[in-house]
A = this chain, B = another copy of it.
């Protein structure tokens, strides 16, 4: 291992030179005029991996191409599948960049360039790690596959279908993704859960058509008032969801996670400021981490009814509509949650109104058990790579590709974010700390070794 880490250190400049080549390709997936750049970036990765000894192939999809590459010369060893992406966000407003967006520039120990952190730089840590292994020992301690797409920034529209059609290529033991961030500088982080979501609509009708508020106002029900009364009863005054069964099955985080969160630097004032709100809100007996990571929530995301134009209209509105969603946590079944919401809405519906509940899309949460061999390997690698004990964090939203790996391919995922929360990944002056780039490469190289030993040694 020593030799490998030395190789990484002595090859730092060469790795950066390589990465700069990739960063200079303006592979903006949202802009059609960059289609050929996208292809160039994909081909660059394929060529790079081929040179290292991987079988690499560019695959066409219904959208932009992707590259799948594999090195599987250790049939009795576990297989690691690295996922990443080479497409980037647009660079507007370009005038706010302090150096040209596609010209890698180092300032104050940071590498500035679009894609530096999201995701070319992070992705490159894994390419460098396999190079170090292969250059030093002529082999890898595990089997390695790379699935690198180029449509992540536009929602990965082609990837799920490609994955369904190429399941056999993707057999693996664990997926490793570095496309997120550390909780804070020097807090190497392992993400152990993503919330799911279940969406729905509520429609209230109180009359066949809007009524004249002079002729009928005061004597007939008002659809907006019915809807607002229903919605206002979905939470109690403290912020807790007031729906029987809503919190059924909710899995509390492991003690290990809770202990880990106590170590996280968190300043409520900073959180409030970053959210642009006046104060926090929500379940009073829960910490902010619990509220956004481990507790299901119910949000009304849109509402519409009656007259919304300029001025005023004297009507009693006949119809009002709200859209909502529940963020789900591990063990919750989206259809159960939608069912209890529907039951509660029907219970709250007054006899003088028709209340329709329509279920939308449901995706369960993703849970990454903290006690697996993979997590133990990752913690050990992060600790050695960063020289700091890693923390467990979670993600309050969903990452659709992770859901695909976990649910469709039944693969455990390790989310090792080497970036930082202030990397400005979708804004001007995106950066990636060179120190984290180095620590990421070390972590990745060590992880391959840890996975072998954990797999075989425990």
A218 adjacent to B291 (CB under 8 Å): yes
Q: 10 closest A-B pairs (Cβ-Cβ)? A: A214-B397, A208-B276, A218-B297, A302-B306, A232-B232, A228-B228, A302-B307, A279-B352, A218-B291, A199-B312
Q: Which residues in B have their C-beta under 8 angstroms from that of A322?
A: 224
Asked if A56 is an interface residue, CB under 8 A from chain B, the answer is no
Which of A133-141, A353-361, A404-412 contacts its partner?
Answer: A353-361
B303 adjacent to A215 (CB under 8 Å): no
CA distance A313 to B398 in the complex (A): 13
Partner of A207 from the list B217, B276, B296, B302 (CB cut-off 8 Å) is B276
Q: Which residues in B have their C-beta under 8 angstroms from that of A397?
A: 212-215, 314
Asked if A47 is an interface residue, CB under 8 A from chain B, the answer is no
Within 8 A of B (CB), among A226-280: 227-229, 231-233, 235, 271, 275-280
Q: Which residues in B have their C-beta under 8 angstroms from that of A313?
A: 301-302, 323
Q: Which residues in B have their C-beta under 8 angstroms from that of A321?
A: 308
B320 adjacent to A303 (CB under 8 Å): yes
Asked if A347 is an interface residue, CB under 8 A from chain B, the answer is no
CA distance A208 to B277 in the complex (A): 7
Give the distance to chain B from A377, nearest Cβ to Cβ, in Å: 27
Asked if A16 is an interface residue, CB under 8 A from chain B, the answer is no
Q: Which of A276, A295, A305, A361 has the most CB of B within 10 A?
A: A276
The residue on B at minimum CB distance from A280 is B219
B312 adjacent to A361 (CB under 8 Å): yes
Partner of A228 from the list B216, B300, B309 (CB cut-off 8 Å) is B300
Asked if A211 is an interface residue, CB under 8 A from chain B, the answer is yes
Which of A26-34, A152-160, A281-289, A438-446 contacts its partner?
Answer: A281-289
Q: Which residues in B have their C-beta under 8 angstroms from that of A96?
A: none
Q: A209-B276, A222-B300, A314-B397 given; name 15 further pairs at CB < 8 Å.
A: A206-B278, A207-B277, A214-B395, A214-B396, A215-B396, A217-B299, A217-B327, A219-B282, A221-B279, A228-B303, A229-B231, A276-B318, A278-B352, A299-B316, A302-B309
Q: A300-B222, A361-B312 are in contact. Are A278 and B214 (CB under 8 A)?
A: no
Q: Which residues in B have their C-beta under 8 angstroms from that of A214?
A: 195, 197, 292, 327, 395-398
Partner of A275 from the list B220, B276, B304, B325 (CB cut-off 8 Å) is B220
Q: A277-B206, A277-B207, A299-B316 are in contact. Are A213 and B327 (CB under 8 A)?
A: yes
CA distance A225 to B206 in the complex (A): 21
Within 8 A of B (CB), among A175-223: 195, 197, 199, 206-209, 211-222
Asked if A317 is an interface residue, CB under 8 A from chain B, the answer is yes
CA distance A57 to B293 in the complex (A): 78
List 17 interface pairs A-B (beta carbons < 8 Å), by A numbering. A211-B276, A213-B299, A215-B292, A218-B283, A219-B281, A219-B282, A219-B288, A219-B292, A220-B281, A224-B322, A225-B231, A280-B352, A281-B352, A302-B313, A304-B305, A312-B323, A313-B323
Asked if A62 is an interface residue, CB under 8 A from chain B, the answer is no
Asked if A315 is an interface residue, CB under 8 A from chain B, the answer is yes
Asked if A10 is an interface residue, CB under 8 A from chain B, the answer is no
Asked if A351 is an interface residue, CB under 8 A from chain B, the answer is yes
B225 adjacent to A235 (CB under 8 Å): yes
Partner of A301 from the list B275, B315, B352, B361 (CB cut-off 8 Å) is B315
CA distance A195 to B296 in the complex (A): 48
Q: Which residues in B have their C-beta under 8 angstroms from that of A296?
A: 218
B277 adjacent to A221 (CB under 8 Å): yes
Partner of A277 from the list B218, B279, B311, B352 (CB cut-off 8 Å) is B352
CA distance A114 to B227 in the complex (A): 40
CA distance A279 to B350 in the complex (A): 10
B299 adjacent to A312 (CB under 8 Å): no
